[in-house]
Structure formats: C-alpha cells, structure tokens
Amino acid sequence: IYVGSGIVADSDPYQEYMETLIKAQANLKAMGLDLDIF
C-alpha cells in the first residue's frame, strides 16, 4: 500500500505521520485488515 503526504516548510512531522496512518487505515480496512492507531 502506498500512502504519502505533502511536506512543506511548516509541516509538523507528527501530524504528517498521523495523516499517513489515517490514509493507510482506510486502505487496509478495504482489504479486510485493520490498523489500530487510536
């Protein structure tokens, strides 16, 4: 699964990381898998 984010000068690394996990979670659920991050 490819998941990316847009990094800019004022990006918060933690928020970018969380965004990629949220995006990955949607793809994993579609495949019948789950990523428990919350």
Confidence of residue 9 (pLDDT cuts 50, 70, 90): very high
The continuous run of DSSP H or E covering 26 comes out as helix 13-30
Distance of alpha carbon 38 from alpha carbon 35, whole angstroms: 9
* DSSP three-state, residue 3: coil
Distance of alpha carbon 31 from alpha carbon 35, whole angstroms: 11
Q: Where are the domains of the chain?
A: 1-38
In this prediction the pTM is 0.67
pLDDT digits (tens, 9 = 90+) for 11-37: 999 999 999 988 888 888 888 887 776
